[in-house]
Structure 1
Amino acid sequence: MDLIKGVFDWVNEKQPYPYIVIGEAVETPSNAHDRFGSEVLETLHIWDQNRGFATSLTIAARVLQVLDHTPLTIEGHVHRWTRFVSLQTLKDPEPPGDIRHVPMTFRVGTEVAPA
């Protein structure tokens, strides 16, 4: 948290940079004969206001370190794995051209917790 101003699922237009937005998710079933499971493809969006990507990529490296192959607590589910899928660097083409956007995607495998 020392690298960012917060993690949000909705951002006020005046939110100071840098920050992370919890973005789109796609869930698909991953059932087995004796249990219900799912895989979720989750995108996190890093937003920064700089002319280069150094800060954004430093934040991305920290997010990767925190999430990839790390056990998670998910209410009602048993976490099986979290894997990094992709990262992309994007520049805002509008002047002054100092907005950086780095979407990161992770795949998370879970099973429904036994009752």
Structure 2
Amino acid sequence: MIASSPAEPIQVAVYERLAGDAALTDLVTTIVDDADKNTPYPHVTIGESAEAPDNAHDRFGRLTVVTMHVWSTQPGYQEANRITSRIVQLLDHQALTVAGHAVVSVRAGTITRMRDPREPFARHVVVPFTIQTKQHD
């Protein structure tokens, strides 16, 4: 067996989970993997990912960190926090179906709230999720 990367199927699974939730889609204009300057606020971007081996003698595994970005132009962080809370509810400690891989765990990491120096009117919340997978036989 050759180890395969879960990065693409994880991105698909995360997108489907978020886009399929009416409570979240009521809070945002869109969920994308590549926002541009014309993307209306508030929105969520499925951003960067990092992947590390998590193998055992009998299986191939991966730890994949997927970074979610919440963007809002509402003053303060109230709107961004509501969106962030919903994303955490949908993903943290929740079962996720990832094609070709069994999900062992999904864990939210440290949430960072900031203003974007390029767009000081925008509120930006960064939420990393670590997804541990093992490859199906």
Bin for the TM-score computed over the shorter chain: over 0.9
Partner of 2:66: 42
Q: Secondary structure at the match of 1:83?
A: strand
| Greater strand fraction, Structure 1 or Structure 2 | 1
Structure 1 spans left out of the alignment, 5+ residues: none
Q: 1:12 maps to what in 2?
A: 36
- Tell me how far 1:92 sits from its aligned partner: 3.2
Gaps of 5+ in 2: 1-24
Match of 2:123 among 100, 105, 113: 100
Task: Report the number of matched residues.
Answer: 113
Using the size of structure 2 for normalisation, the TM-score is 0.78
Is the aligned partner of 1:109 residue 2:106?
no
Output the amino acid matched with 1:110: T
Greater helix share, structure number: 2
Q: Which amino acid aligns with 1:71?
A: A
Query: What TM-score do the two structures reach when normalised by structure 1?
Result: 0.92
Mapped to 2, the partners of 1:44 and 1:84 lie a distance apart of: 10
**Match of 1:58, SS?**
helix
Per-residue CA shift, 1:42-70, capped at 9, x if unaligned? 11000111111000001111101000011
Letter of the structure 2 residue corresponding to residue 102 of structure 1: V
Aligned-pair identity in percent equals: 35
CA RMSD of aligned residues (A): 1.3
